Amino acid sequence: MTTKKTFLGVPVAKPKVAFFELSSCEGCQLQLLNNEATLLDFLSLVEIVRFREGRKEAGDDYEIAFVEGSITRDDEEELLREIRRRAKILVALGSCACFGGVNQLKNRFNDLEWVKKEVYGSFPIESQEVKPLSAVIKVDLEIYGCPIKKEEVERIVTALVLGEQVHHPQYPVCMECKARENICLFELGEPCLGPVTRAGCDAWCPSNRLGCWGCRGPAPEANLALLQIIMAERGISQERMIDRLECFGGFGAFVAEVKGKKEEPR
Amino acid sequence: MLFKVFPAGELIRLFEILAADRIVGPVKKGEDQHGRSLYDFDVVHDFTELRLDYGQTIHSAKNWFLPYQEDLCTFTFEDGGSGDWHKEVDYGVYAPLVLFGLHPCDINALNKLDKVLLGGQYPNPFYGEKRANMFIVGHSCSPQPFCFCKSMGTDSAIRGFDLFLTRMDDLYFAEILSPRAFHLLEQIDCHDPDSREHHRYMEIMEAKESLYVAHVDTSDLTKILDLEFQASVWQEWGRRCFSCGTCAQVCPTCYCYGVAEQVDMDFTHARKEKMLYSCNLLDFASVAGGHNFRPESHTRLKYRYYHKHRGFVEAFEESLCVGCGRCGQACLAHITVPEVIASVRASKE
């Protein structure tokens, strides 16, 4: 593994890589270990100095930091600032890191103390309003998804190692869903956020007959006003639509806008 | 053209003879929430799966001749890239294919694609190889409320198939365009049509005319599109568009694509991958340096219409749209070609 790698005869440096987890299920990191067929190739591409899901040793000398999870405690914020200081490239790994993820669902309650009491009772625990990484530090690259798509991460890491630009699709999930010739979930009477959610997942959920929940966040220029219209036309309530849009946090700004409008007349 | 007639019961024999090759035809994929059947083209394993009574499929059959994704070539680098390298090209054609049950709109779509992809100075070998290994059995249709092929002149196919079947009571009226189709019919119980059967065929054709509901007025359309380039209706349609590319994906003639190069993690292989694209996508007209020539939804939607109904007409004296109506059916915002064209024609600017 120590032999120098070359591409087209040009030596390619093997970056030192560390994985970190803030508040999360660590499922995104597990995703990376999930594909045994390409795991060794992935490991030959980078030098892993820290990866709790895969090894015990933990180093602090790294160039690329992959940070999974959202911020819910002060010490996490501190750790994140420390990672930012050390890493040349900081990657937000997964929807929690990018948008707050499922964790940020609690933010929709006005009284966070009440939420804490409901969940933990009198157990002493620190749990603040959930923040994505970008609320605290500068994020260089976001890898979307709950969980992340392993193939996409491999493609992105290969690009990073070769010094290529990383391109995320700008189009929504529908494009990929149609390429798989799925039956549109709306035909089945199911809501789906595919028309407004950033693609790249290869229409993972719709291909399994589950409407998209928008884990990858909005596609740039997503037509959310139109989403409201087509949902209403199909008898899907605004509550149900908002439930979906709120699930992973990517659509937070739009949800706030819709909720604001809804509350005005009162 | 040669004509033959055979009893409807002979169709299964025809199918079985062709089944020596892979047959792709309309099959039922499920039902929508109102219990209506949904069809698509797929491999037909058994004659009973073949649903020639389909109104329209959700997607066109293009995945079988213009796949959504295709490797244009792959590379192998020896000795970790420091040695020799090879390029391999695979057109992806390993066996003949029978397309069974294409309606006239889809046959005309192939004829139009042939002009672009095979007729130019640089024919597309990936498409050409697939086309050369294809046997096409057309089938008559019953126009759906959203079909406007009549307006586009694609309601009838006069070329681009081997065999075209029209259901005529308990008979099939067969149009023969290829020697292989002729010899195929020799193997089943068929006869030359008599004058009564000629007459019945013409009656059926006439009855079909009255079923069209949707229409597009194409007279002077290229000029009108030029005149109405700045019309505000385009912005209206842009607001109603998700820019999701669904229309292009289900279209039998949308052939625009993007190409991406991908290096494997072991650095010993790479591939150049082609992906069907849509001019409606935000990324479609973004170029090196980050500039986007069409950042607004309405300009992208407009250019899709200009390509279909203006640019292609100027180049080939026919529209690229075959009036199959799939785009309008698949569009969640109900953007349909007849409505868009009518709104532009009605524009008073």
> Per-residue pLDDT tens for B223-239?
999 999 999 999 999 99
In terms of domains, do A10 and A124 share one?
Answer: yes
- A167 inside domain: no
How many CB atoms neighbour CB A19 within 10 A? Answer: 25
Burial A120-145 (b: 16+ CB within 10 A, else e): eeeeeeebeebbbbeeebebbbbbbb
- A190 inside domain: yes
Q: CA-CA distance, B86 to B271, in Å (whole number)?
A: 11
Contact criterion met (CB < 8 Å) for A170 and B282: yes
The DSSP output letter for A91 is E
C-alpha distance from residue A108 to each of A134, A237, A256 (Å): 19, 18, 10
Whether residue A226 contacts residue B240, with contact meaning beta carbons closer than 8 Å, is answered with yes
Whether residue B343 contacts residue B233, with contact meaning beta carbons closer than 8 Å, is answered with yes
In terms of domains, do A158 and A28 share one?
Answer: yes
In terms of domains, do A78 and A147 share one?
Answer: yes
Contact criterion met (CB < 8 Å) for B245 and A10: no
C-alpha distance from residue B133 to each of B18, B203, B253 (Å): 13, 35, 19
Q: Which residues contact B141 (CB under 8 A, 6 or more apart)?
A: B55, B103, B104, B105, B147
Say how many CB pairs under 8 Å bridge A and B.
Answer: 120
> Per-residue pLDDT tens for B146-157?
999 999 999 999
A-chain CB neighbours of B276 within 8 Å are 179
In terms of domains, do A12 and A143 share one?
Answer: yes
In terms of domains, do A51 and A129 share one?
Answer: yes
**Domain enclosing residue A107, as ranges:** 5-162
Identify which has the larger pLDDT, B26 or A37: B26
Contact criterion met (CB < 8 Å) for A179 and B69: yes
- A168 inside domain: no
In terms of domains, do A149 and A67 share one?
Answer: yes
Angle at B205 between CA B201 and CA B206, to 5 degrees: 115
- A169 inside domain: no
Tell which of A137, A162, A187 closes a domain. Answer: A162
C-alpha distance from residue A114 to each of A70, A119, A122, B294, B331 (Å): 20, 9, 11, 49, 44
Q: CA-CA distance, B338 to B331, in Å (whole number)?
A: 13
Interface-testing mutation among A178, A229, A230, with chain B (most B C-beta atoms within 10 A): A178
Q: What is the pLDDT of residue A4?
A: 75
C-alpha distance from residue A181 to each of A35, A101, B38 (Å): 26, 29, 12
C-alpha distance from residue B9 to each of A82, B141, B167, B171 (Å): 77, 19, 11, 8
- CATH no. for residue A103? 3.40.50.700
- A189 inside domain: yes
Using CB atoms, pick whichever of A45, A171, A226 lies closest to residue B283: A171
B→A interface, C-beta within 8 Å = 29-30, 32-33, 38, 40, 58-59, 63, 68-69, 77, 80-82, 85, 239-246, 249-250, 262-267, 275-276, 278, 281-283, 286, 295, 297, 330, 332-333
Q: CA-CA distance, A218 to B316, in Å (whole number)?
A: 40
Pairing state of beta strands B97-102 and B22-31? parallel
Interface-testing mutation among A41, A154, A156, A181, with chain B (most B C-beta atoms within 10 A): A181
> Per-residue pLDDT tens for B156-176?
999 999 999 999 999 999 999
Q: CA-CA distance, A214 to A223, in Å (whole number)?
A: 14
For A46, name the nearest residue in chain B, comparing CA atoms only. Answer: B265
For chain B, the C-alpha Rg in angstroms (whole number) is 22
Task: Count how many domains chain A has.
Answer: 2
A→B interface, C-beta within 8 Å = 5-10, 12, 38, 41-42, 44-45, 154-155, 157-158, 162, 169-172, 174-175, 178-179, 181, 183-184, 186-189, 194-196, 219-223, 225-227, 229-230
Contact criterion met (CB < 8 Å) for B330 and A223: no
Q: CA-CA distance, B149 to B300, in Å (whole number)?
A: 24
In terms of domains, do A41 and A103 share one?
Answer: yes
The alpha-helical segments, DSSP class H, found in chain A are 27-33, 36-45, 74-86, 95-99, 112-120, 150-162, 174-179, 224-233, 238-246, 252-263
Report CA A239 to chain centroid distance, whole Å.
23
Confidence tier at B332 by pLDDT (50, 70, 90): very high
In terms of domains, do A151 and A179 share one?
Answer: no
- A74 inside domain: yes
CA distance B128 to chain A (A): 21
Angle at B244 between CA B238 and CA B246, to 5 degrees: 110
Tell which of A118, A139, A162 closes a domain. Answer: A162
Using CB atoms, pick whichever of A41, A157, A169 lies closest to residue B283: A169
Q: CA-CA distance, B327 to B321, in Å (whole number)?
A: 10
pLDDT at residue B210 is higher than 50: yes
CA end-to-end span of chain A: 66
Residue B127 tokens, joined? 């498409």
In terms of domains, do A32 and A103 share one?
Answer: yes
Q: CA-CA distance, B26 to A240, in Å (whole number)?
A: 35
Pairing state of beta strands A16-21 and A10-12? unpaired
Q: What is the pLDDT of residue B323?
A: 98
In terms of domains, do A118 and A187 share one?
Answer: no
How many CB atoms neighbour CB A181 within 10 A? Answer: 18
Residue B316 tokens, joined? 């080939």
> Per-residue pLDDT tens for B51-97?
999 999 999 999 999 999 999 999 999 876 667 889 999 999 999 99
In terms of domains, do A127 and A196 share one?
Answer: no
C-alpha distance from residue A14 to each of A32, A63, A82, A84 (Å): 18, 10, 23, 20
pLDDT tens across the length of chain A (266 residues)? 456 788 888 889 999 999 999 999 999 999 998 888 899 999 999 999 999 888 888 889 999 999 999 999 999 999 999 999 999 999 999 999 999 999 999 998 989 999 999 999 999 889 899 999 999 999 999 999 999 999 999 999 999 999 998 989 999 999 999 999 999 999 999 999 999 999 999 999 999 999 999 999 999 999 999 999 999 999 999 999 999 999 999 999 999 998 887 665 54
Using CB atoms, pick whichever of A155, A170, A179 lies closest to residue B262: A155
Pairing state of beta strands B22-31 and B37-43? antiparallel
Residue B95 tokens, joined? 């066996």
Q: CA-CA distance, B252 to B63, in Å (whole number)?
A: 9
CA distance B46 to chain A (A): 21
In terms of domains, do A119 and A151 share one?
Answer: yes
Q: What is the pLDDT of residue A1?
A: 45
Q: What is the pLDDT of residue A265?
A: 52
Using CB atoms, pick whichever of B265, B276, B282 lies closest to residue A221: B282
B-chain CB neighbours of A192 within 8 Å are none
Contact criterion met (CB < 8 Å) for B282 and A195: no
Q: What is the pLDDT of residue A266?
A: 45
Interface-testing mutation among A8, A150, A164, with chain B (most B C-beta atoms within 10 A): A8
Q: What is the pLDDT of residue B243?
A: 97
Per the DSSP assignment, residues forming a β-bridge with B3 are B175
Tell which of A128, A162, A196 closes a domain. Answer: A162
Q: To the nearest whole number, what is the mean pLDDT of chain B? A: 95
Instruction: Let me know if A266 is exposed, middle or buried by CB neighbors in 10 A (0-12, 13-18, 19+).
Output: exposed
Size of chain B in residues: 349
The alpha-helical segments, DSSP class H, found in B55-161 are 104-117, 125-132, 149-152
Whether residue B137 contacts residue B205, with contact meaning beta carbons closer than 8 Å, is answered with no
- A195 inside domain: yes
User: What 3-state class would DSSP assign to A142?
Assistant: strand
- A125 inside domain: yes
- Predicted TM-score (pTM) of the model is 0.94
